[in-house]
Amino acid sequence: MAQYPTPQFIEQEGKIIYFLTFKQFFLLVGGLSTAIVFYYLLPFYFFVICSIVIMGIVSVIAFIKIDNASLVTVFLHFFGFLFENKTYIWEKKKSPYPYKSLNPNLQSKEKLITRHDNQEINTTKPSHFSILQASKLKEVKRKIETKK
């Protein structure tokens, strides 16, 4: 059977123009198109100020990564944590079987009485919990507290 190389770095985004990914490219194009719209709508000095601010914000969003996560993802996680419920309550679950069996193969001494054609038949009922042993936590706690 032929051996084929395993693809590496699958989680990386594809580059379209030198160092720009699709996401970065379209963010910069969106910022540039907004700046062009402001060029036609605003006086020149407002256009320059707004364009510098918008392109700065878009560049930060496009290129800054924190722990290999984009700035948008970091802000979404931040606001999600800020507004989510932070009350954590721990509850101890009740054990369905508070006693443990010493020997599960033993049969209990209980007898089943069944009626078949008006005749009583006595049978022994097998039980997995025939000899039960209580938990020894209370005894251990008493020994620790009294140091005996």
pLDDT in tens, 109-128: 444 455 555 555 555 555 55
Closest residue by Cα to residue 133 from 102, 89, 87, 91: 102
In three-state form (DSSP H/G/I as H, E/B as E, the rest C), the secondary structure along 83-116 is HCCCCCCCCCCCCCCCCEECCCCCEEEEEEEEEE
Is the pLDDT at 38 greater than 70, yes or no?
yes
The pair of three-digit structure tokens given for residue 50, joined into one six-digit string: 């707004």
CA–CA gap between residue 79 and residue 42 (Å, rounded) = 33
Which range of 30-34, 79-83, 120-124 scores highest in mean pLDDT? It is 30-34
pLDDT at 109: 46
Q: Terminal CA-to-CA distance of the chain, rounded, Å?
A: 70
pLDDT at 9: 67
CA–CA gap between residue 39 and residue 50 (Å, rounded) = 10
For helices 71-83 and 44-63, angle between their N-to-C axes, nearest 10 degrees? 80
- Quickly count: other Cβ atoms within 10 Å of residue 24's Cβ: 20
Residue the block writes with tokens 């601010």:
53
Q: How confident is the model at residue 131 (pLDDT cuts 50, 70, 90)?
A: low
Q: Mean pLDDT over residues 9-27, rounded?
A: 82
